[in-house]
Structure 1
Amino acid sequence: MPQYTEDDINQALEAIARGTSVKKAAFEWGIPRSTLKNRMKGHQARDIAFSDLQRLSASQESHLAEWVRIQAALGLPPLINNSRTLLNASYRSMETPSLSERTGRSLLLRETHLQWFKHLAVPEIMAIKASNRYNMDETGILEGRGSNGLVLGSSETRSIRKKQPGSRAWTSLIECISATGKALPPLVIYKGKNVQQQWFPLDLTPYESWKFTATENGWTSDSTAVKWLTEVFIPSTQPADPSEVRLLILDGHGSHETTAFMYTCFRNKIHLLFLPAHTSHVLQPLDQSVFGPLKAAYKKELGLLAEWDAGTVVGKRNFVICYGKARKAALTSKNIISGWKWTGLWPVSMARPLMSPLLLVNTSTPAKPAGQVCKGLSDGKASEKWAADTSAVPWSTPKKRDELQVQFSLFRKLDNDEHTQRLLFRKVQKGFDEKAYQLAVAQRKIEALQAEVDASRARKRKKVRMSPNCHGLWTGVRPSARPSATTHWTHQIQWRIC
């Protein structure tokens, strides 16, 4: 592979134009003389000369490379195979043959600014308006599950049963909110083969903008995610200026990383920002201030429905009604903007999620430093004393309760007796006793099963051969001297001892 760039060739040609010989210029810039002579004759660079043979034009390559660079800076760089699949999706729309693996790799090699992602600062993302920033997520609700709480009843009973109306069918919902406090229509995902008419109330006016679908397990699928993107998100968030870019913040679910989903975003100028794993409770606005009030409001509406009509079955029809009322109560502009603010996604503030109570350590009761077992000693000396004391104790694996108690007493002498330490010892002792009991019960079961196996084992019959020197004989049976109603019969057995 050549070790010179196009800039080196241009500088060498400029030097030749100023009077430098071709041989000297080729030596200084490390370029073959044949290459410089061909350029002087008017030959073009290789990528320009063979551009007509490329499957993608220069503008298409530049556009795709820019999108990949932005996605890489956001933390989800597309793999080479995924990029080739994305290119093939583009070519299917132009009715041309698919790209080969070699063609896709060559494209990435031509775009040198993609290597190692030098441009990590993405001004395109920072320039996106608040009205074009969105967060989407999926949640689930049991149709007939009400709220928890205290109830009133007679003091004569220890517990009271409360009826829960309806079924326990699972229904998923995809919600999306903007940084300006706007909520998009939801996508309701039922569990079933197809959406049925009897699932909906008679008056569908409040739900005209909603979308409904059905899957086998009631959760989103790859096709469902694309359906939401094309039928809900893109039409509802179309900016007034078609050149404006939209940002969609979402989790790393597998349905969001498919080629169809990413290609649709690519064609509609939608940049994807994937949240890190296990951080949605801190970084996702929907989880922060929307889903909690939404589910609480739904359970409240479900409880009111059960109180007014205990015989009402909360099926899919009443689920839509209760969820519609819950959305009006929970998906308010105030709650949505609060979620964006406390996650630090808008206005952008890195300190917001870092100061979350879910991430901060409770400093009200500072932990005792490791190795600090003696007051008045430094950390190093305390650690050395701790190591010396523990090595002097004859530790061994306890096998009985008494041995465990001895170990605990030795440990208490080495360290200050604290409440947490005593609690730990009690839990260990309890677990030790439970395991010992389980082991004893299991041992007895094993012995009983072994006895049953021995008893049921078939044994071969074998005649016992008597020794000719020893014979046991019955000499007869006779009644007592005076027979009566209670005559006792005696057996006289005489054995010949040999």
Structure 2
Amino acid sequence: MPKTRRGAASYSKKYTEEDILKAIEAVQNGMPKKAAATKFGVPRATIQFRLSSLFVKSKPGPNTVLTEDEEKVLVDWIITCCKKGFPRRKVDIMLSVEQFLNKNPRQNCFINNKPGDGWYRLFLKRHPEISIRTSEAVTAASANISEANIRQWFIQIEQHLKENDCFDILQDPSRVYNGDETNFQICPKNTKVLAAKGCKNVYEIDHAQAKSCLTVMFTFSASGETTPPMIIYPLKRMRADIRASVPLDWGLGLSDNGWMNKDLFFQYIHNILYPYLVKKQIKFPIILFVDGHKSHMNYDLSESCKEKGIILIALYPNATRILQPADVSAFKPMKNAWKKSVLNWRRSNLTKTLTKVDFGPILKTALEEFVYKSTIRNGFKACGICPWNPDAIDFSKCLGTNCDDIKPRTRKQNKTLC
């Protein structure tokens, strides 16, 4: 360490490790050491020492319990498991280290060979290629989808649309739609609140039944528009107060369990979606992408849609998390908006219970204030639907390795949807 005068400030380097690495790289590429030292502000002696066989890379602090090679094996295992759809959690890592130390005993400061939170934090710090993420739930069938499956679907749909002189529709965002239903909890999960430090019992009164929810059918266009939705109530007959609370252009449906079925989907297409398209003077025919749920598959519905110029196209099975714009971009911000709107409603109705009568007005506020057209347009783009471009898809979401596990639809099956 360079000498300093008594009373002077302590010595600190004026160059970083990055500067040293750049200087060494420059020297290895033919630049003289003196010139590299001047350019990057690193002493020539430091560069010369780093290039010599005497230099050994060391880390500050005591040695880690696991060697560098052993930790690399652990990191590779974590990354490999994640790619296969089996992401590891903190407890898995701790348990794996404990089992390894039980089989390979060595001196350590762990209790019963089990590492603590401190080791875990430092492990993540030593390996920045590992980060804490929130996993996305995927069914076993969805996990079998491969890139080849999806590309084959794009080829089949493109071929079918060209045979029927409909492929040009995909060039007009106002004529490309995606319809799907989702549910909204009337009493969304509580967010964090403020309380006295150390308080262990913090309660909040639910303003509705904790697990009650309503299904809502939505359709989005590639131009960013959201068509009037249809709310499905688990009732035998429609109540007058509910009918009066919902906007006039919205749809109302009834089913025993509150879920979508074939009859309700038929009603939605003919009483809500089609009149809206006519009112907006949308050019027909239009393409409506839907998932393969049985409520969307019906011969009478297909024939009726064909008469009205609505071409139904089923998305590849179990791939809606990749191909469906509603799932990719629309529903998550929409549900976040719903939660915010419910919290705003609670502030003005501290003693009132949120009922089915209040659902429509609150949802209308959420859609008006928090749903952005650009988000919806980006969803269609990310799914490769509009513009039609399978290369736009993030195929890293595909966990399958071949296209033989799920047979693609035949041309005959595709025609029954149009």
Given the two structures, how large is their TM-score scaled by the length of structure 1?
0.45
Which structure has the higher relative contact order (CA within 8 Å, separation 6+)? 2
Whole-angstrom CA distance in 1 between matches of 2:214 and 2:372: 22
* Cα pair 1:294 1:326 within 8 Å, conserved: yes
Alpha carbons of 1:134 and 1:239: their partners in 2 closer, same or farther (altered >3 Å)? Answer: farther
Provide, for residues 92-142 of structure 1, a one-character-per-residue CA deviation record: whole Å limited to 9, x for no partner: xxxxxxxxxxxxxxxxxxxxxxxxxx9785462321132111110011112
Counterpart of 1:350 in structure 2 is 390
Provide, for residues 187-225 of structure 1, a one-character-per-residue CA deviation record: whole Å limited to 9, x for no partner: 1101110110122566x6xx1211112111001111101
Superposed counterparts of 1:92-131, under 5 Å:
121-122=162-163, 124-128=165-169, 129-131=172-174
SS of equivalent residue, structure 2 residue 375:
helix
Offset at residue 357 of structure 1 (A): 5.3
Whole-angstrom CA distance in 2 between matches of 1:200 and 1:235: 19
Counterpart of 1:271 in structure 2 is 311
Offset at residue 298 of structure 1 (A): 0.8
Alpha carbons of 1:330 and 1:338: their partners in 2 closer, same or farther (altered >3 Å)? Answer: farther
- 1:217 paired with 2:300, answer no
Alpha carbons of 1:257 and 1:308: their partners in 2 closer, same or farther (altered >3 Å)? Answer: same
Whole-angstrom CA distance in 2 between matches of 1:157 and 1:148: 17
Counterpart of 1:178 in structure 2 is 221
Whole-angstrom CA distance in 1 between matches of 2:240 and 2:357: 10
- 1:289 paired with 2:329, answer yes
SS of equivalent residue, structure 2 residue 203:
coil
Alpha carbons of 1:127 and 1:320: their partners in 2 closer, same or farther (altered >3 Å)? Answer: same
Superposed counterparts of 1:203-282, under 5 Å:
207-238=247-278, 244-282=284-322
SS of equivalent residue, structure 2 residue 397:
coil
SS of equivalent residue, structure 1 residue 219:
coil
Counterpart of 1:74 in structure 2 is 157
SS of equivalent residue, structure 1 residue 138:
strand
Alpha carbons of 1:120 and 1:133: their partners in 2 closer, same or farther (altered >3 Å)? Answer: closer
Alpha carbons of 1:236 and 1:119: their partners in 2 closer, same or farther (altered >3 Å)? Answer: closer
Whole-angstrom CA distance in 2 between matches of 1:119 and 1:187: 30
* Cα pair 1:201 1:321 within 8 Å, conserved: no
Alpha carbons of 1:258 and 1:333: their partners in 2 closer, same or farther (altered >3 Å)? Answer: same
Counterpart of 1:165 in structure 2 is 207
Whole-angstrom CA distance in 2 between matches of 1:190 and 1:286: 21
Superposed counterparts of 1:392-431, under 5 Å:
none
Whole-angstrom CA distance in 1 between matches of 2:189 and 2:261: 29
Counterpart of 2:233 in structure 1 is 190
* Cα pair 1:146 1:164 within 8 Å, conserved: no
Whole-angstrom CA distance in 2 between matches of 1:327 and 1:119: 35
**Code of the aligned partner of 2:184:** I
Whole-angstrom CA distance in 1 between matches of 2:271 and 2:156: 28
**Runs of 5+ in structure 1 lacking a partner?**
1-71, 76-117, 362-498
Whole-angstrom CA distance in 2 between matches of 1:230 and 1:296: 30
* Cα pair 1:73 1:122 within 8 Å, conserved: no
Provide, for residues 327-380 of structure 1, a one-character-per-residue CA deviation record: whole Å limited to 9, x for no partner: 113433212111111111111121122x2553489xxxxxxxxxxxxxxxxxxx
Counterpart of 2:185 in structure 1 is 142
Larger radius of gyration: 1
**Code of the aligned partner of 2:261:** S
**Code of the aligned partner of 2:260:** T
Identical pairs, percent: 23
Alpha carbons of 1:341 and 1:119: their partners in 2 closer, same or farther (altered >3 Å)? Answer: closer
Alpha carbons of 1:197 and 1:332: their partners in 2 closer, same or farther (altered >3 Å)? Answer: same
**Code of the aligned partner of 1:254:** K
**Runs of 5+ in structure 2 lacking a partner?**
1-154, 401-418
Alpha carbons of 1:120 and 1:149: their partners in 2 closer, same or farther (altered >3 Å)? Answer: closer
* Cα pair 2:178 2:219 within 8 Å, conserved: yes
Offset at residue 158 of structure 1 (A): 2.1
Offset at residue 246 of structure 1 (A): 1.1
Given the two structures, how large is their TM-score scaled by the length of structure 2?
0.54
Q: Number of paired residues?
A: 245
SS of equivalent residue, structure 1 residue 124:
coil
Equivalent residue for 2:193, pick from 115, 134, 151: 151
Offset at residue 291 of structure 1 (A): 0.7
Alpha carbons of 1:121 and 1:220: their partners in 2 closer, same or farther (altered >3 Å)? Answer: same
Backbone CA RMSD of aligned residues: 2.9
Alpha carbons of 1:120 and 1:311: their partners in 2 closer, same or farther (altered >3 Å)? Answer: closer
SS of equivalent residue, structure 1 residue 237:
helix
Whole-angstrom CA distance in 2 between matches of 1:201 and 1:243: 32
SS of equivalent residue, structure 1 residue 236:
helix
Counterpart of 1:323 in structure 2 is 363
Counterpart of 2:176 in structure 1 is 133
**Code of the aligned partner of 1:171:** L
Provide, for residues 276-302 of structure 1, a one-character-per-residue CA deviation record: whole Å limited to 9, x for no partner: 122111111111111111111111111
Deviation larger for 159-168 or 246-255? 159-168
Superposed counterparts of 1:442-453, under 5 Å:
none
